[in-house]
Structure 1
């Protein structure tokens, strides 16, 4: 099976923001037919974020170097940090008092960067931008004031590939930022072995505009605003187009059409901003949220649980997953760790703590405002406890939108 025939069979025209988009074809841009953006990110099959326990160790070393008083090693999940503590494991941060700027104005920032995970440079730019904004929206901050773009140019790209692909990727990033109502005012670019794309989002806002993540109370439910399984869908699609041993192992259980639809659903989900979600979090009185990203559903739920002010525990019993991707993960021996809650997600949804009655209206209004693809799911509850997460006997919900 050739790369071209595989791509044609697995890609379908998709409606993004009301525009019908054809799959990216390198030949349309006078590039080699076998050009694949993901080949400039040979680390992309696994998340390459540094584990949280390693980061905690490095931060402990930093305190020693600075001569600060060393505290006990923090257990996993890490406890709530004091205001203004440095935590480079978190992708977003809120600088609160005493770093208030003027009056009650506060600075909220989110940053992230990663390798290309799809071959369409325009959509990859949009995904990167949506991913950066996710942490700002998780704080309930709707208006972003400024964005910077971070870009590493691969030394393995030819001059033609570089001059063709990077402007397209930058346009996708800027178009997504425009949809979010923010301008990209600059950034930084470097030369690197791998292609890397990301950015920084900054908002200056009043304290009332921020929803702190630590207000969960017993009786709340847990809402998830995007399906899981993006990492599985992207890798399955990559295996199919390469027609290697991994696809030969799976091809008798999953059709090319199913893989193409799962890939399309993943891309549309990753491109969708969490901005309206942030708006509705205020309307329906959310008690806290966190963006699901590289540490998976369970990893980020542990972080959310650990920072709570009240003695509560989170219990997760449902897992909405892109159609059939849970089956793919199971057949692969759960090497993705999807069923263990550790599978990374790309530009994932928000995990929100909210009153049960309010959550029902929240879900209805999300669909009214953004359409059927903006479904949300109640995946668990908040009960009295010791700031941990109960993650057992999950029911998989296959999502096919």
Structure 2
């Protein structure tokens, strides 16, 4: 068996979910293809914003491996079969423009992969990069005494539910407006949009500088689900203990009003969430400080790595951090 095939079999855990993207050894030049495909339904009405959010969500899989120099992103769009042409003529150019804006920030070549018809609108992309071995970080080296760092606050699914209920003016909307001002609800929704559109680029670059031992992005499985996925590919028998949950301001209470218990359980889905990074404790504070310096955004030390049997848990009296960026 070739050295590269041994590498691939040993580290990508072909037996189940582990890596956020494919790591494929190439036949020549000791290089690897790092690639991911991601797509989902629209969650905001603004086509440009939707393009930016989708781009950020797609590239985060590569960012979670410390791949911050991405070669290309190919856009994938399916439009509804019954979508009027005049609406398509607004939505499609707007989505592509959003992709272009984020691709410019990320310095990524943008390709138009496919636009076709489908019963529902689906938006996504394929992100690819050719890397040398020292340009990516395998997520399997967590050690006892490490800490967990999160680079974006949680709550995007709750924000989407808030917006949906307010748009429909239903009973849940009345409950929300009884407990919050319209301004506070708008503020929470806008904060979630800002968060989803923000790239995890700086967070990925700094993983190399501060010797990250593993990382995943927090998306559809929620923070606890993704923490468990990350644990499943660890070489050492360790546990992740989450002691703090940063949540977008007002959304903890909104989740309670909407009976969305999954937020505090760590299983609420996130769209284009932050990176959950395993760092040496000695590096973590400085890592968070540099995120603040580069992006004017907060990253948090939210937990620790302890001896165990590869189980992720949220402590019973988890500390909730209400967050609103400046």
More strand per residue = 2
Aligned pairs for 1:7-156 (under 5 A) are: 82-83=10-11, 92-96=20-24, 99-156=25-82
Paired residues of 2:20 and 2:216 also in contact (CA < 8 A): no
Tell me what 2:233 maps to.
Answer: 307
TM-score where L is the length of structure 1? 0.76
Paired residues of 1:274 and 1:350 also in contact (CA < 8 A): yes
**C-alpha distance in 1 between matches for 2:13 and 2:147:** 29
**C-alpha distance in 2 between matches for 1:383 and 1:216:** 10
Aligned pairs for 1:187-226 (under 5 A) are: 187-226=113-152
**Residues 125 and 152 of structure 1: is their aligned pair in 2 closer, same or farther, counting only changes over 3 Å?**
same
Paired residues of 2:255 and 2:263 also in contact (CA < 8 A): yes
TM-score where L is the length of structure 2? 0.93
**Residues 240 and 158 of structure 1: is their aligned pair in 2 closer, same or farther, counting only changes over 3 Å?**
same
Q: How far apart are residue 208 of structure 1 and its match?
A: 0.6
Higher relative contact order (CA 8 A, sep 6+): 2
**Residues 287 and 146 of structure 1: is their aligned pair in 2 closer, same or farther, counting only changes over 3 Å?**
same
Tell me what 1:400 maps to.
Answer: 324
Give the counterpart of 2:100 among 161, 165, 174. 174
1:161 has 2:87 as partner: yes
Tell me what 2:292 maps to.
Answer: 367
SS of residue paired to 1:157 = coil
1:269 has 2:192 as partner: no
**Residues 125 and 88 of structure 1: is their aligned pair in 2 closer, same or farther, counting only changes over 3 Å?**
farther
Paired residues of 2:74 and 2:110 also in contact (CA < 8 A): yes
**C-alpha distance in 1 between matches for 2:223 and 2:171:** 29
SS of residue paired to 2:260 = coil
Paired residues of 1:293 and 1:346 also in contact (CA < 8 A): yes
Tell me what 1:384 maps to.
Answer: 307
**C-alpha distance in 2 between matches for 1:157 and 1:296:** 32
SS of residue paired to 1:313 = strand
1:253 has 2:179 as partner: yes
SS of residue paired to 2:276 = strand
Q: Deviations over 1:316-366 (max 9, x none)?
A: 01000000111111222235x111111000000000000112110011111
**C-alpha distance in 1 between matches for 2:148 and 2:11:** 25
Paired residues of 2:66 and 2:136 also in contact (CA < 8 A): yes
**C-alpha distance in 2 between matches for 1:246 and 1:340:** 21
Structure 2 unpaired stretches of 5+: 1-8
Give the counterpart of 2:263 among 323, 338, 345. 338
Q: How far apart are residue 235 of structure 1 and its match?
A: 1.5
Structure 1 unpaired stretches of 5+: 1-80
**C-alpha distance in 1 between matches for 2:321 and 2:280:** 22
Q: How far apart are residue 86 of structure 1 and its match?
A: 5.5
Q: How far apart are residue 87 of structure 1 and its match?
A: 7.7
Q: How far apart are residue 142 of structure 1 and its match?
A: 0.9
SS of residue paired to 2:265 = coil
1:289 has 2:212 as partner: no
Give the alignment's Cα RMSD to 1 decimal: 1.8
Paired residues of 2:218 and 2:273 also in contact (CA < 8 A): yes
**C-alpha distance in 2 between matches for 1:115 and 1:86:** 28
Q: Deviations over 1:354-382 (max 9, x none)?
A: 011211001111111111xx210111000
Paired residues of 1:152 and 1:191 also in contact (CA < 8 A): yes
Q: Deviations over 1:195-216 (max 9, x none)?
A: 1100000000101111110111
